[in-house]
Structure 1
Amino acid sequence: MKLIERTSRTYLWLSIVIFLISAGMLIFVLTAVMNNRLDEQLRYNKEVLAKTIKYDYPLTIFDPPAELNESEQKKYPNDTVIFKDTLILRAIEGEGVDEFEKYRQLTAYETLHDKRWKIVVRNSLVRNQDFIWVIVLSSFIIIILLLIGLWILNTKISKKIWYPFYTNLDKLKNFSVQDKNPIELESSNIDEFKELNESIRNLTQKLQSDFSSLKEFSENASHEMQTPLAIMQSKIELLLQSNNINQKQSHQLQSIYQAGKRLSKLNKTLLLLAKVENQQYSTKEEVSFHNLIEKQLENYEDFILNKNITVTKNLSEHIVSTNAILADTLISNLISNAIKHNVENGTISIIYKEDELIFSNTGEPLIGAPEDLFNRFKKQSSRKDSLGLGLAIIKQICDVNQWQLNYHCIDKLHTLSVLFNKKQTSKSN
């Protein structure tokens, strides 16, 4: 839920709660005020009747009053005034129907002319209630219109205020550390947004600077390391061809030579991983995996024949939008992995269809947890020439392209599958 929606909903619910409480208080106050005025009117009418009885007795305009019964005499021995609401059945004019109508009633017990009198004065509450509900309904309509107006105004103002924020958020999502130019942010007159923009600019500039330095360091370090390694290997080769060394020295030199080759290979592999992670292979083009697989199988033909491996293929002509170098590296590592971890007289199955690439090979049972396969320097074989980085490179290439990489093993048949995004594949003409 967006902040604007969350804020608007909070204001709306708060307004509803305040309105309900205010409506209840308004009804209570109006009812109390109207009843108080009505009670004053009833009290005045009672005083008029009391004076009429006192000074115009015997009464000529009223029926003779009834005597108080014994229970009333005991209950109200002194002068008493009682207010209460009551219902009285009355006829509706012109309809001939009787209905109960609510009245406010004053009952007074007084002694006049040495006699106990019961004076009852009533006034209808219908008009008062109608008046109260008219006021409440009018207030309700005014408040609702006011809330709607404030909500619309608040929404428009909030969208205008938050526009730079959402614009900068989109720019930040599309930001890449490989961009040479600094990020351009939408300006705002809000102090908090100004501070946020300044922090984002400083952070992105620092990221770009660090990335550039790291990239330069990685490339320079790799280049500088390759030169002495090449010199060292060439010198060792010359020594190995010399007749002035014994067999023990020859074995030691061969170990040094193999270690140097391994170090050179490790250096190149780590540099490749760094470049992939830093998204230096961002250029995409239409790549035919069918052609790449055929080409790499030719390159590894000697290794396949050496182990007498049977290769079966089922390759479609679909093309994928990706970086050509990464695609070639992916296929090379998948084939190399299937050969290295295979057995003598084993099999390799390669299936390439519209949205999936599947490599299956026979091999020894897996050692360790399957989830550790794609971690760096995690090796499942004891081969000295294995660096434990092949599957890590495959995983990194899949992550960069947002492909899904899966592994499973059934009856010594190991399967690696790459699930492509269907939007990235198309049928080749």
Structure 2
Amino acid sequence: MKLIERTSRTYLWLSIVIFLISAGMLIFVLTIVMNNRLDEQLRYSKDVIAKRIKYDYPLTLFDEPKELNEAEQFKFPNDTIIYKDTLILRNIEGEGINEFEKYRQLTAYETLHNNRYKIVARNSLVRNQDFIWVIVVSSFIIIILLLIGLWILNTQISKKLWHPFYTNLNRLKNFSVQDQEPIKLEKSNIEEFKELNESIRNLTQKLQSDFSNLKEFSENASHEMQTPLAIMQSKIELLLQSDNINKEQSEQLQSIYQAGKRLSKLNKTLLLLAKVENQQFSTKEEVSFKELIEKQLENYEDFILNKNISVSKELSDHIISTNIILVDTLVSNLLSNAIKHNINNGTISITFSKNQLIFSNTGEQLRGDPENLFNRFKKQSTRKDSLGLGLAIIKQICDVNQWQLQYSCEDKLHTLSVSFTSTTTNQND
């Protein structure tokens, strides 16, 4: 839920609660005011009746008052006035229907001309209740219209005020540390947004600077390491060809040579992985997986023949728009992995369709957790020439292209599948 919606809903519920409480209080206050007004009218009517009795005027507009019986005289020995609401059955003229109507009633017990009288005066509450409900409903409609107007006004104002924030949020989502230009943020007159923009600007500039420094360091370090490694390997090769070393020295030199070769390979692999993570292969072109797979099969032909591996393939002519260097590395690593972890006289099956690339190979049962298969330096084989980075590179290439990489194993048949879920494919004519 967005902040604007959350705030608007909070204000709406708070307004409803306040309105309900206010409506109850309004009805209560109006009822008291109306009852007091009716009580004054009833007292006036009682006083008129009392004066008519006191001065022996005929009661043309009122019923004749009744003298108190003994029980009433005993119960009300002093002058007493009682107010209460009561229901009286009355006939609706012209309809012949009887219904109860609510009245406000005054009952007075007074002594007039040395006689005790009971005076009763009533006034209908129907009009007063109708008047109260008219006021309440009118107030309700006015408040509802006011709330709707305020909600619309608040929503429009909030959208206008928060527009720079959402604009900057979208720009921040699309921001890349590889961009040379600083991020452009929407200006705002709100102090908090100004501080946020300044913090984002400083942070992105720092990220760009750190990325540039790290990239430069990685490339320089890799380049500088390759030169002494190449010199060391060439010197060791010359020593191995010398006739002045014995067998033990030759074995030690070969061990050093293999370690240097492994270190050189590790350096190149880590550099490639860093470049993939930093998305330095952003150039895209139309790539034929079929041609790349055929080419890699030729490159690895000797290794395939060495293990007497049977290769079956089903390759489509579909074209995918991506970086050819990354795809070539992906195919090479998948094929190298299928050969390296295969068994003698094993099989490799390669399938490429519009939406998927599948490499299946026979091999020993996987040891360890498959979840760690794509982590760096996590390797399942005991081969000394395995760095544990091949599948990590494959996973990183898939992540960069937003492809789905999955591994499965059934009856010692290992399968790596790449699903091109976020890539547009075309048919090659």
Q: TM-score, normalised by structure 2?
A: 0.97
SS at the partner of 1:89?
Answer: strand
**Counterpart position of 2:413:** 413
CA 222–63 in structure 1, closer or farther in 2 if over 3 Å, else same: closer
Give yes or no for contact 2:288–2:318 (8 Å, CA) kept in 1. Answer: yes
Distance in 2 between residues matched to 1:18 and 1:214, nearest whole Å: 59
Distance in 1 between residues matched to 2:82 and 2:132, nearest whole Å: 24
**Counterpart position of 2:292:** 292
Distance in 2 between residues matched to 1:63 and 1:297, nearest whole Å: 120
Question: Does 2:52 match 1:52?
Answer: yes
**Counterpart position of 1:305:** 305
Give yes or no for contact 1:319–1:426 (8 Å, CA) kept in 2. Answer: yes
SS at the partner of 2:376?
Answer: coil
Give the gaps of 5 or more residues in structure 2.
Answer: none
TM-aligned CA deviation for residue 113 of structure 1: 2.3
TM-aligned CA deviation for residue 212 of structure 1: 0.2
Give yes or no for contact 1:90–1:98 (8 Å, CA) kept in 2. Answer: yes
1:320-331 → structure 2 map (5 Å cutoff):
320-331=320-331
**Counterpart position of 1:395:** 395
**Counterpart position of 1:269:** 269
The letter for the 1-side match of 2:371 is: E
The letter for the 2-side match of 1:55 is: Y
**Counterpart position of 1:106:** 106
**Counterpart position of 1:223:** 223
SS at the partner of 2:298?
Answer: helix
CA 325–63 in structure 1, closer or farther in 2 if over 3 Å, else same: closer
The letter for the 1-side match of 2:229 is: L
TM-aligned CA deviation for residue 157 of structure 1: 0.8
Distance in 1 between residues matched to 2:257 and 2:339, nearest whole Å: 24
Aligned length: 429
Distance in 1 between residues matched to 2:61 and 2:377, nearest whole Å: 116
1:344-372 deviation line (CA, Å, top 9, x unaligned) = 00000111112111111111111111111
TM-aligned CA deviation for residue 72 of structure 1: 2.9
The letter for the 1-side match of 2:237 is: E
TM-aligned CA deviation for residue 60 of structure 1: 7.7
The letter for the 1-side match of 2:404 is: Q
TM-aligned CA deviation for residue 210 of structure 1: 0.2
1:27-426 → structure 2 map (5 Å cutoff):
27-56=27-56, 64-421=64-421, 423-426=423-426
CA 369–57 in structure 1, closer or farther in 2 if over 3 Å, else same: same
CA 263–107 in structure 1, closer or farther in 2 if over 3 Å, else same: same
1:303-324 deviation line (CA, Å, top 9, x unaligned) = 0000000001011111222211
Distance in 1 between residues matched to 2:416 and 2:329, nearest whole Å: 15
Distance in 1 between residues matched to 2:56 and 2:162, nearest whole Å: 81
20-29 or 305-314, which deviates more: 20-29
1:374-393 deviation line (CA, Å, top 9, x unaligned) = 11111111111000110111
1:188-232 deviation line (CA, Å, top 9, x unaligned) = 000000000000000000000000000000000000000000000
Distance in 1 between residues matched to 2:60 and 2:402, nearest whole Å: 105
The letter for the 2-side match of 1:171 is: R
SS at the partner of 2:66?
Answer: coil
The letter for the 2-side match of 1:190 is: I
284-293 or 249-258, which deviates more: 284-293
TM-aligned CA deviation for residue 57 of structure 1: 6.9
1:27-63 deviation line (CA, Å, top 9, x unaligned) = 1111111111111111121122122222227868766
CA 354–70 in structure 1, closer or farther in 2 if over 3 Å, else same: farther
1:78-108 deviation line (CA, Å, top 9, x unaligned) = 2221111111122233434332221111111
Q: Give the CA RMSD over aligned residues.
A: 1.6
Distance in 1 between residues matched to 2:64 and 2:274, nearest whole Å: 114
TM-aligned CA deviation for residue 422 of structure 1: 5.4
**Counterpart position of 2:2:** 2
Give the gaps of 5 or more residues in structure 1.
Answer: none
Q: TM-score, normalised by structure 1?
A: 0.97
Distance in 2 between residues matched to 1:133 and 1:63, nearest whole Å: 32
The letter for the 1-side match of 2:122 is: R
Give yes or no for contact 1:83–1:107 (8 Å, CA) kept in 2. Answer: yes
Give yes or no for contact 1:355–1:422 (8 Å, CA) kept in 2. Answer: no
CA 268–68 in structure 1, closer or farther in 2 if over 3 Å, else same: same
